[in-house]
Amino acid sequence: MPKIIAMAGKGGVGKTTVTALLINYLLTTKQTPVLAVDADANANLNELLGLKVDLTIGRIRKEMKAELPPYITRDQYMEMKVHQALVEESGFDLLTMGQPDGPGCYCSANQFLAMTMDHLADNYQYLLVDNEAGMEHLSRMNLREIDLLLVVSDPSARGIMTAERIAALTEPLGVRADKKYLLVNRAPANLEPVLKAKIEQATNRSGLALGGFLPQSATLAAHELAGHSYLALDRSEPALQAAHEIFARILPGA
């Protein structure tokens, strides 16, 4: 079974950025193959990886509402379409959830994604899940046991408080995480003492360990704006170096 790493945090804090940097690290250190699942309805992990997505789980679900060819079962059709949806790259594959069935409804698509990951999991060393905001999605995807939960925050009091609440949701949702870390993204060079105190309070109360800080980076922003892959980042980029140092320390088996 692969090691399962899931991202969590409120919207806009950089969960997808962290996922892309983690893929960069795993490829660099040859900890492959990796299956990356973009489980956010506002899917954009492919953009940070310089990839084009033509087929999503949500679209497959919609197609299956129509009449299927007579020579194939629904399970066979689903398996065939899921393999078509996989974007296969050297060292990793990408699977994208896409839009839900209707307003706020992910029930059927989540069931399909859960079944898909059951079918595919044994082929990979790591399974990465770039989540939507919150934690409920992990429960709906049947990801009840996670090796590593990375709760991402921006350097704000609201972000840190939200990270603390998200970490506390694992038990009520029936999600068990062997390790839980807080990553503070877009951190300034010098943190305000008040923010440092908020981080310390949050980690002490929630059971989150402080994974580290990813610095603000004009280079990451420029790559995203230009549509360039984070896999092509220069090794000297400070944000990439900081990410690699963190991952080397906290990843399962590190």
Stretch 15-44: mean pLDDT: 92
For CA atoms 80, 81, 83, 89, give the dihedral sign. Answer: positive
- The whole-number pLDDT of residue 180 equals 92
Amino acid symbol at 170: T
The two structure tokens encoding residue 245: 């140092």
- The whole-number pLDDT of residue 16 equals 94
- The whole-number pLDDT of residue 31 equals 96
* Residue 82 scores a pLDDT above 80: yes
- The whole-number pLDDT of residue 75 equals 75
> Which DSSP symbol is given to 132?
P
**Candidates 3.40.50.300, 1.10.645.10, 3.20.20.70, 1.10.10.410; CATH matching 3-250:** 3.40.50.300
The two structure tokens encoding residue 190: 């010098």
CA 174 to chain centre: 19
Closest CA to 27 of 49, 7, 56, 52: 49
Strand (E) or helix (H) holding 180: strand 176-187
Q: How many angstroms separate the CA atoms of 141 and 153, rounded?
A: 23
- The whole-number pLDDT of residue 133 equals 63
Closest CA to 97 of 80, 113, 108, 111: 113
- The whole-number pLDDT of residue 73 equals 81
Q: Which of 11-15, 93-97, 111-115, 120-124 is predicted with the least confidence, judged by mean pLDDT? A: 111-115
- The whole-number pLDDT of residue 77 equals 80
Q: Where are the domains of the chain?
A: 3-250
Q: How many angstroms separate the CA atoms of 231 and 90, rounded?
A: 11
* Residue 140 scores a pLDDT above 70: no
Strand (E) or helix (H) holding 192: none
* Residue 70 scores a pLDDT above 70: yes
- The whole-number pLDDT of residue 87 equals 94
* Residue 15 scores a pLDDT above 60: yes
Encode pLDDT of 110-138 as tens digits.
Answer: 666 667 667 777 889 999 999 876 555 56
* Residue 10 scores a pLDDT above 80: yes
Which strand ranges, in their side-by-side order, compose the sheet holding 126-130? 87-89, 92-96, 34-38, 126-130, 3-8, 145-153, 176-187, 209-215
- The whole-number pLDDT of residue 81 equals 84
* Residue 48 scores a pLDDT above 80: yes
pLDDT top residue among 205 and 242: 242
* Residue 254 scores a pLDDT above 70: no
What's the residue count for the chain? Answer: 254
Q: How many angstroms separate the CA atoms of 243 and 56, rounded?
A: 29
Mean pLDDT for the chain overall: 85
- The whole-number pLDDT of residue 111 equals 66
